Each structure stands twice: as structure tokens, then as C-alpha cells.
Structure 1
Amino acid sequence: MKKSLIILLTIVIFCSCEKETKIDTNYVIAKFQENAENINSLEYRMQRIDTFAQDGTVWNNTGIALIEKDKNDKVFGFSFYGKRDDIDKEYIYDAGKRFEISKTSKTYEVEPGNFGFIGSPGGQMVHQNIFKLDSIYKNITLSETQNSYLLSYEFENDTVYDVSNRLKVYELNKTDFFPIQIKQTSERLGNKSISIAKFSDIKINENVTLTIKESKQELQNYTIIQPEKRKPNKLLSKKLPLMELSDLFDKNTIIKVNNNKLTLIDFWEVWCSPCIASFPKVESLKNKFESELNVFGIVSEDYENAIKMVEKKGTTFQNLIGNNELEKEFGVNSWPRYFLVDKNGIVQKEYFGFSEQIEKDIKEFITK
């Protein structure tokens, strides 16, 4: 009897060990994906804390988000409703359109949606990794606490935007593998940025309290505000204003932006990723048309890091120090912004972001 009992216990222990699941990164990733695939609609509260690399400014915002998967959506793959607690507006993205809603005035605006809408106050409550983990990375490790798994990702440096030491940590609930917190850190020009998203009051599928459709139905009682057509810049077809600005590398040296030949003016800032990404393209234009084209960059903030950025990128076109008054005079409220001035000093073209059209226009004006 005793011998039989020992054999039985041995079998039980062997079977238990055989069935024990190996907890590793592959297992945790697979469970996260399995859980995410079963979510069609999701509602949660978020606290988002952003520390910016440029000056250490901290944003600490809270709000709510409702997300509904949409396999036909080409921008995000889902629709969403978002509201930040400190902003008296609501934001909806659905069917390729973006809605900005004011309950106070009972009005709303609607425009074609794009990826930039994720940066709106409501969009900031929508985390892009809520349904998927990163698939491209340098290294990944797994650790755990009593109630959570921590997937720590290390990424290659981003040489385009000069971002280094890129790390991301997902803290996942051991029960349902839903994120408890997602923390991202990186460095740019020696300054560290941190973004922390903390999730709470999570409701999934049939437990959500609202739908995108219901949110949009309220708009039937609201007044739509028609978008204003972008007004032509007041400087177009007029003489370039007198511009005598300090050189970025030597404030005591004053540079006059003269009109002895075709001139491209580039308004940029250190915090503007598209500006930095366009540097090589602007540099290429400067080198390609060196005898026919002047190129001036103008930066109005954070001169110390602007110098570091120019040096790191190896940019050789001349950069000058601007100011808010100059930006207002040129109507610059988005970056990068480019202006093409002909050899007679007339402002001929304005460009909202870099495009191939700039080179086409340069060639056209050179031949005139």
C-alpha cells in the first residue's frame, strides 16, 4: 500500500511538472496578443506624464478614451473618442474623419483625419501600443513583480531624429495581460525625455459604457463650424522685409538676408522632428544650386541645442537667430515653413513642410 502511494505521488508530481508553463518573453508576448485580439472595444482612464527633453517641462494630464477596432481604417486601424479632463472639448476619430466638439457652445468641426490627430488633447489619451507590442527592437528582457510582468525593450538609436538610449517598458497585469503602465524614455542632445501612461477603470467589449456611434449621434443637435479656407500669406508677391539677424554661431555677427540671388528661407526649431528630418534635403538643395541659390535657416528658440543639432547634422547652410516678431511677420505658426524669394527680393512661394515642389520651383526661377 505504501509503495503504491509513493508511485501515485511520483506520477502526480511528474504530471504537474510536465504541465507547468514556461514563463518567458515569448509566452508573455503571446498572451498579450491573444488578449488584444479578443478586444473589439475598450474604455479606460489614463494618467499621462510627459517630461520633455528640450527644457524639462512636465505635463501631467488625465482623461478618458474609448477605442473601437476598425479593420478598414487605413490610419490607425481603429476609431476613438478621447477627452482630457482639463480641456472643455471632446475629440472623435471615425471613418477617416476627425471631430473636435465643444459641448459648451454646442458646436463641432469636422475635417479629414490624419495621423497627427493623435496629438490632439483627446488623442493624447489614446496610446498607440494598447493593442500591439513593438516588433522591431534591439533587445528585450522579462522581469516580474507579484502582480505583473515587465517587458523591457531596448531600441537602436534613431539617427534621423538624433534620438538615443531609447527604452520602453510595458507593465502587464498577470491576470489578463492588459497594460497597467507603459513607460518610454529617450535622449536627444544629452537631454532626457520620459513619457508614462498609467491605465485604470478598464472596461472591455460588452462592459464599455459608450459607443462611438452614440457619441456622434449627439452631434445632430449641434452646429457645425465650416473650416476656414487658408488665407494667402500677406507677404506673397511682395518685397521681402528687411532682415538683419544674428548668426546662430556668433551673436555679434549680423547677417543681412540680401536679394542678390534666389533665396530659400527655412524656419525650423530643435523640437520639430520634421524640421530635422528635412535638413539633409535642404543641404542637398544648397549644394546642388550653390551658385544660384542662397539658403538661410532661422531658429527662434533654444539656441544652445540648435547649435549642437546643426553641428551633429553637419549642416553647412547659414543659420540665423529669429524671434517671435519675425515669425508673426511671416505668418509662421507651424514648422518647418519655407519661403522662396526671387533675385529681385519678391516673396514668390510659401511651403508648409518640405516637398519636391521646392526643387521644381527653384529650377523654374533659375531659368527665368
Structure 2
Amino acid sequence: MLVPQTRKPIQIWLNKGLALFSPSTIDENEQQVLTDYHWVLKSTSGGLVNLENYKGQVILVNFWATWCPPCIAEMPSMQALYKDYKDKVTFVFVSNESPADVQKFLNEKGYTFESYRPTTASPEVFDVTSIPRTFLIDKSGHVIIDKTGAANWSSKEVRKTLDEILGEEI
């Protein structure tokens, strides 16, 4: 029998095991394409952004929550990827929680990325029914990775994929 206070830490620990695996890319003929970039989000610091501003860039969109054990388990790898690619990739972390709760979580964990809350409906491609859910979109709008559940986002495979779609030497 699990004591309620031990449930979340155990779930996070189990999901960290799952987060050791790298997400897979989608075969080119099965990739969806993001065509409608109009999506307004509000940052935890209060600024508004429209995904339209990032059209033509490589974008990583992650739907998450502070209470979600798989989300928490994959966040260290997200932070590592963000640290190394923040100047080359647009990172959009999306949570429906209050900005105060999200910012408190980010501060406590030492995460340096910005998180956003949607203010308009998301594009159809982002049909999210469970979290974490992460999308990697190339410069032409192709969804290269669509992963539900925890993963290792700082893996060699993800970095190789990013370097390829960024057009950099591997």
C-alpha cells in the first residue's frame, strides 16, 4: 500500500527510468505540417507572444504541468537541451497552470526557460489529450517528432536530429 505522500516521488522515479529513452522521429511521409501558426501565449512574466513570430524557425513545443510526474521526470533533459540550443531553437513550454505556480516550480528546480499559458486555441496539429506531449517542428513546419510521455530530450539522437534540421555539421 502506498502512502499518499510517497506516491508522487515514486511516480517521478519510475518515469525517470522511462525518460532514459530518446524520442523517435516520424517518417517523412507520415509527418503532419503546421500550417496555422496563429497561437497567442502569455509568458509567466506577463509578455504576449504569437507563434506566428517564429514561423520559419525550428520550434520545440512542450505541454507540461508542475503536478505531472512524467513531466517532472523529463524536465532535467529539457533544461539541458534548452541550455545548449536556446540560441538556435525556439522553445515553447506550455502549461495551463497559474503563472505563479509555474514560476515557483521553475525557480525551485533552477530551470531557466520561459513557460507560457495559452490565450487562444492552439493550432490543430497540437491535439493534446495527455501530458507531457512534445512536438519538434522544422523550419518548413513539418512535425519531426511527436512524443507523448517522458523522454530523454538531451540524447545524442535528439541532438543529431536538431543539428540536421538546423543545417549544421554533425
The TM-score range, normalised by the shorter chain, is: 0.5 to 0.7
After superposition, the C-alpha distances for 1:79-122 in whole angstroms (9 at most, x for unaligned) are xxxxxxxxxxxxxxxxxxxxxxxxxxxxxxxxxxxxxxxxxxxx
Moved more, 319-328 or 260-269: 319-328
Uncovered stretches (5+) of structure 1, i.e. residues with no partner: 1-126, 129-182, 189-233
Aligned to 2:49: 255
d(CA) in 1 for partners of 2:79, 2:117: 18
Which structure 2 residues correspond to residues 268-287 of structure 1 after superposition, within 5 A?
268-287=64-83
CA 1:301/1:329 → structure 2, altered by over 3 Å: closer, same or farther? farther
Letter in 2 for 1:280: P
* SS of structure 1 residue aligned to 2:49: strand
Letter in 1 for 2:160: K
d(CA) in 1 for partners of 2:44, 2:36: 21
8 A Cα contact 2:65 2:95, kept in partner = yes
Aligned to 2:164: 364
> Is 1:241 the equivalent of 2:41?
no
Aligned to 2:24: none
CA 1:291/1:340 → structure 2, altered by over 3 Å: closer, same or farther? same
CA 1:328/1:304 → structure 2, altered by over 3 Å: closer, same or farther? farther
TM-score normalised over the length of structure 1: 0.34
Give the C-alpha shift of residue 277 in structure 1: 2.2
Which structure 2 residues correspond to residues 22-171 of structure 1 after superposition, within 5 A?
127=1
8 A Cα contact 2:133 2:147, kept in partner = yes
- Asked which structure has the greater RCO (Cα within 8 Å, sep 6+), the reply is 2
Which one of the candidate residues 134, 147, 153 is aligned to 1:351?
Answer: 147
Higher helix share: 2
8 A Cα contact 2:40 2:118, kept in partner = no
8 A Cα contact 1:236 1:349, kept in partner = no
Uncovered stretches (5+) of structure 2, i.e. residues with no partner: 9-29
TM-score normalised over the length of structure 2: 0.68
d(CA) in 2 for partners of 1:348, 1:256: 21
8 A Cα contact 2:40 2:119, kept in partner = no
Give the C-alpha shift of residue 325 in structure 1: 4.3
8 A Cα contact 1:240 1:345, kept in partner = no
The CA RMSD over aligned residues, in Å, is 2.9
Give the C-alpha shift of residue 239 in structure 1: 2.1
Aligned to 1:20: none
Aligned to 2:97: 301
CA 1:328/1:245 → structure 2, altered by over 3 Å: closer, same or farther? same
Give the C-alpha shift of residue 310 in structure 1: 1.1
**Looking at CA atoms only, which structure, 1 or 2, has the larger radius of gyration?**
1
8 A Cα contact 2:34 2:142, kept in partner = yes
Letter in 2 for 1:245: L
8 A Cα contact 1:297 1:318, kept in partner = yes
CA 1:260/1:237 → structure 2, altered by over 3 Å: closer, same or farther? closer
After superposition, the C-alpha distances for 1:136-185 in whole angstroms (9 at most, x for unaligned) are xxxxxxxxxxxxxxxxxxxxxxxxxxxxxxxxxxxxxxxxxxxxxxx443
Letter in 1 for 2:48: I
